[in-house]
Structure 1
Amino acid sequence: MVRLTRAQTQERTRSGVLAAARAEFAGRGYRDATIDGIAARAGLTRGAVYANFAGKRALYLSVLAADAERAARAARGDAAGGTTPREALAAIVRARLGAGLPADVLDDEPARAAYAQLLELEALVLGLALERLGLRGRAVRVAASALTLLAGADHLATAAPGFVDQFDVVAACELLTALPADRGWPRAYLRHVSPARLVDEPWPDGPAPGDGVVHLLGLRRLEAAEESVRSAPAGAGVTVALVTGEPDELAPLARLVLARLDGTLRRAVPGPARPPVRLLLGPAADAVAAAAGIAEPSDDTEAAVRVVAGRVVARAEGRGAGHAAAVVPVTTTVARPA
């Protein structure tokens, strides 16, 4: 008999708990599911469940995230969604219908605040895709409005079964592409952001990202991702690393939203129109935090570095850090402080 390592045993236990949780939620719904019921299905003690997951919400979101990641991997690499903004938005809405969260899942302020910011990030990425397909102006407002209509439709579909006509929801969201152009960029405060500090440092560990901006953001500051994305010079890559001070509680929520976004892009947006923004979470984001010199990331963390030729050439912290790192003048030769 092959003896499993400790890590393998832990992974097997987590997989068993997730399978039991999936069955419990499917059979009883989120509200009526219990940790005791999940433990019984898994053949474990209540303590063993809590040793692997923070609680019922973390389990529920982890189940949804795993399903969303699996669905995203199964989606075709090149979507047949649409080649115009209106067609793509309709495809986005069809891909997202029914993907809302029960209201009682987000039953505290930290979770609600994090979810609002995750939706800001989702609206940014979807809006950028619509812009790349030709929608004039800043399309973040269009994407955010579509997500708002979807959330209302999902809520009514649960609260008043039979009332929501999904075809009407799609048709209504298509009309959002006719909204007046949103010129709300750049933000006025960016003119007053302190410049990034020029440095010359190796990337601390592992392979360095490509030339561009690496933006580290806590889950309460994700709206700031637009700063690095909009301010980065043409051809510069942008990596946004998501961190949280409550990984056991909030990381599953972030994982779900990122997986849902990935699946939506794959199903609804042609490959060339997908924004070249790299989103990181978990160990990869923690490595970026270490590279940015943030030992204990929080949900309010905001920092950025500029990378050229595999070296960190500029650093910025605080509000506007992504913009500051993006606009600092650098060349392909590593910048050195005076």
Structure 2
Amino acid sequence: MRLTRAQQQERTRGAVLTAARVEFARHGYADAKIDRIAEQAELTRGAVYSNFPSKRALYLEVLTDLVGGPGEVARSTPPPTEAIGNFARVWLERLPLAGDSRADGHLQLRSLNGVLDDERARTALAQVTELEALMLALALESRVPRRCVRLAGLVLTMLNGSARLADAAPGFGDPFDVTRACEHLAALDLADSWQPAHLPYVEAAQPCDEAFEPPAAVFDEISGRAVGLGADGVIAVLGSERLSATEEVVRAAGPGDEVTVVAVTGDPAETGRLVRLRVRDLTGCLRRVFAPDAWPRFRLILGEDVGVGADATDATETAVRLHRGRIVARAHGRGAGHAAAKVSS
């Protein structure tokens, strides 16, 4: 049977990813060669680059492919201390086994050591890590009546540090000790408060009355399923340099608001793949520990045009307020999500 163009492209992409995974597992990121990947996939070098514009883009896609799809979902949420311990156990499953090669261990760890060697990529990683901390914190806050962002950040610091040490010194450290240490972090008083100094000075959203034509469905990374847009609430479009502003939107939104955050970038090939990798890794762990009623109460869409007229750049910060299927307010610049969420619907 003759394949359609789309089927042929998907087959080519699959062959490249399979060959690349073997190459990265044998040689590591630094020593991997696109020519060997092309030869293994029985393709030309140009065919590889037509699907993945750089070795880094290909490596990030291989790691995302290893993370997989939405996966299993917890049926109930344990108490906070136990939840932190369970989250740590799930996260630490990536630690390589004693017999794994160093290069294969890099893949198992989703290691980015030596991969993000420029300012743009490091900035994106810092911002998406803040987003990860917020998502873990919001899950904990469903059971704890206080802000948990600093606690979540400390847990992720310990887990990422353990992974980095496992990458540099395989076999050192006990993951069970790390898990117990993460559990003890829940008892720390971190004096966590939410008082961003700039928010009182954010310019108010501008009223408007515009038609809104959302896409039929978009993929929500938190729930792992397709969702529709258009209910009363806020849509904030944030570039990879402004992902930390997600908390401003979430904290300002009203109890009945549907909050949607759309993460965009001017570099979908690399920065976009980096954000997708980290988000899918984190949400996969969250869903295995926290039941749906504890998941962060917002939708997270990656790289989609949702019809609000926002640019896709790393510095984008644009938000709209929706009411009865129409855009009733717009805000741009720093604090835009907060300003749109503060508009009364």
TM-score by length of 2: 0.88
Whether the 8 Å CA contact 1:213–1:237 is kept in 2: the answer is yes
The question of 1:133 aligning with 2:123 is answered no
Structure 2 counterpart of 1:212: 233
Structure 1 counterpart of 2:88: 93
Structure 2 counterpart of 1:202: 211
Please list the CA deviations of residues 69-104 of structure 1 after superposition, one character each: whole Å capped at 9, or x if unmatched.
Answer: 33x33x2x2256x52111111111112123452311
Structure having the larger proportion of residues in helix? 1
Displacement of 1:181 after TM fit? 4.6
Displacement of 1:47 after TM fit? 1.4
Displacement of 1:194 after TM fit? 0.8
**In 2, Cα distance between the equivalents of 1:194 and 1:269?**
37
SS across alignment from 1:103: coil
**5+ residue gaps, structure 1:** 331-338
**In 2, Cα distance between the equivalents of 1:177 and 1:151?**
17
Please list the CA deviations of residues 170-198 of structure 1 after superposition, one character each: whole Å capped at 9, or x if unmatched.
Answer: 11111111221544313121111111111
Q: Which of residues 147, 167, 170 in structure 1 aligns to 2:179? A: 170
- Tell me the matched-pair count: 318
Structure 2 counterpart of 1:188: 197
Please list the CA deviations of residues 39-93 of structure 1 after superposition, one character each: whole Å capped at 9, or x if unmatched.
Answer: 11111111111111021111111111122133x33x2x2256x521111111111
Structure 1 counterpart of 2:277: 256
Once superposed, which parts of structure 1, at least 4 consecutive aligned residues long, lie more than 6 Å away? none
**In 2, Cα distance between the equivalents of 1:253 and 1:198?**
35
The CA RMSD over aligned residues, in Å, is: 1.6
Aligned-partner residue type, residue 123 of structure 2: A
Structure 2 counterpart of 1:302: 317
Structure 1 counterpart of 2:288: 267
Displacement of 1:205 after TM fit? 4.2
Structure 2 counterpart of 1:336: none
Structure 2 counterpart of 1:20: 19
Whether the 8 Å CA contact 1:79–1:266 is kept in 2: the answer is no
Structure 1 counterpart of 2:134: 124
Structure 1 counterpart of 2:103: none
Aligned-partner residue type, residue 91 of structure 1: N
Q: What pairs with 1:1-338 in structure 2 (closer than 5 Å)? A: 1-2=1-2, 4-70=3-69, 72-73=70-71, 75=72, 77-79=73-75, 82-97=77-92, 98=94, 99-134=109-144, 136-207=145-216, 208-282=229-303, 285=304, 287-288=305-306, 291-294=307-310, 296-330=311-345
Please list the CA deviations of residues 127-173 of structure 1 after superposition, one character each: whole Å capped at 9, or x if unmatched.
Answer: 01111122x42101111111111111111112122221101111111
Aligned-partner residue type, residue 231 of structure 1: A
Displacement of 1:30 after TM fit? 2.0
Structure 1 residues 175 and 100: CA distance shift in structure 2, 3 A: farther
Whether the 8 Å CA contact 1:20–1:41 is kept in 2: the answer is yes
Aligned-partner residue type, residue 301 of structure 1: T
SS across alignment from 1:188: coil
Displacement of 1:300 after TM fit? 0.6
SS across alignment from 2:195: coil
**In 1, Cα distance between the equivalents of 2:214 and 2:284?**
30
SS across alignment from 1:179: coil
TM-score by length of 1: 0.90
**In 1, Cα distance between the equivalents of 2:186 and 2:42?**
52
Structure 2 counterpart of 1:333: none
